Amino acid sequence: MTAEIRSQSAFKIQKQASMRRPALQQKMTPELAEICGIHAGDGYLRNDGKRRDLEISGGVEEKEYYNNHVVPLFENYFQISLKPRHFPTKKTYGFVTHKREIIEFIHSFGFPYGKKTLTVSVPEQILASQNLNIIYRFIRGVFDTDGCLTFQRRFSSKYCLFKRTREYYPYIVLSVASKNLVDGVCNLFDKLGFVYYRHLNSAKNPNFSLKYVVGLSGVSNLERWIQNIGFKNSSKFSRYLVWKKYGFCPRNTTLEQRTQILNKELDPNSLYMGPSAKG
């Protein structure tokens, strides 16, 4: 073997090792914490002896979130190139990578291969962290994917007409089948000093599984969330923007409708039956 060939071979081995070492040896960072949160919500690890891959995918309406945030986040952290796409059979949008070092790395944080719906949990490195940015970013990743921001009206006659006819009161909610995940999120909320509620949503319909619910309610919680955690998912953040602008956000609207409302192309009051409630 010539010196040149030996040099090329050594460089190749060194390059392959360098691709593995940074990720596998890297301590928890805010970027990695958000990646873990996104995987906890929308991720799937497969390693069944025939196929090995990591899939991250969400609802089709979240295409902008994936293109503008999730894909660049993964590409920058792992130094790879990804091609997001639609998954027609599942009606989702996201990406797949088959890179072994990434798959094993994500698995090393306690994320299982195969179905994780009932068992997914917050990685120990995040639970033990005292770095607020790490906690914020993990929570954002989970709620951007599996959480929801919703607004509700009041039904008691003691409330004014506006509050009884418009969805104005905010809730940030995570409802999942994994008790482990909700326990971990509550642990993180305790660290952050959030006042939250949690309960078990027992399904009356046998076709639906039990759901563990944790949530924050009220304007002060929402504004604190926006200031410290935020939403990168435009499907969720657009709800906040509509509420901030009009004082309410109609339920069951699409991202397109909310974009039209924000662009003053659609009056949100027109989505209700009867005259606009002012009082």
**Predicted TM-score (pTM) of this structure:** 0.87
Summarised one tens digit per residue, pLDDT across range 139-179 is: 999 999 999 999 999 999 999 999 999 999 999 999 999 99
State yes or no: pLDDT of 275 exceeds 60: no
The pLDDT assigned to 14 comes to 43
Summarised one tens digit per residue, pLDDT across range 20-44 is: 444 445 689 999 999 999 999 999 9
Q: What is the mean pLDDT of the chain?
A: 89
Distance between CA atoms of residues 271 and 261, nearest Å:
11
What percentage of residues in the chain have a pLDDT greater than 70?
Answer: 86
pLDDT confidence bin for 72, thresholds 50/70/90:
very high
Q: Give the number of C-alpha atoms closer than 13 A to the C-alpha of residue 155, restricted to the C-beta side.
A: 1
The pLDDT assigned to 209 comes to 75
**Architecture of the structural domain at 17-271:** Roll (3.10)
The pLDDT assigned to 207 comes to 61
The enclosing H or E element of 26 equals none
State yes or no: pLDDT of 227 exceeds 50: yes
Q: How many residues does the chain have?
A: 279
Q: If you average pLDDT over residues 17-22, what whole number do you get?
A: 42
Distance between CA atoms of residues 151 and 239, nearest Å:
9
Distance between CA atoms of residues 44 and 239, nearest Å:
28
Domain ranges (residues) in the chain: 17-271
Distance between CA atoms of residues 57 and 78, nearest Å:
18
Q: If you average pLDDT over residues 66-90, what whole number do you get?
A: 96
| Cβ burial 214-232 (10 Å sphere, 16+ → b, else e) | bbbbeeebbeebeeebbbb
Higher pLDDT, 2 or 151: 151
Summarised one tens digit per residue, pLDDT across range 185-212 is: 999 999 999 999 999 987 666 666 789 9
